[in-house]
Amino acid sequence: MRHYELVFAVKPTLTEEEHKAVVDEIKSLITSNGGEIYNEENWGRKELAYPIQNFKSAYYHLINYQTENSQLPIKLEGNLRINENVIRFLNFKIKPKKVEEVSAEA
């Protein structure tokens, strides 16, 4: 099982419903292609270090997922590139936490 971390920034001009629809679309793409989301965080609206597509802020999201489908990250990145509402993203493979580390944090 491979573990991945996806961080993406969504346009700040979207309505709350459009914003939720973009996030739900990304989550459904992960789950419908054999992925399992085990952590999700909404980091809220943050100021950007430099303007991206003339935007000075964006809504940030973090999704940790695991999958055995090696094509899922490729398909996900392709979808994020053509999604006009996502202005930046970073998807990378991570090492899963060991069971001992998880129980020590709890």
* Strand ordering across the sheet containing 55-67: 35-52, 55-67, 2-10, 86-94
- What is the model's pTM? 0.86
26, 31, 36, 42: CA torsion to nearest 10: 20
Confidence of residue 102 (pLDDT cuts 50, 70, 90): low
Say how many domains are in the chain.
Answer: 1
> pLDDT tens for residues 50-77?
999 999 999 999 999 999 999 999 999 9
Looking up residue 23, the CATH number of its domain turns out to be: 3.30.70.60
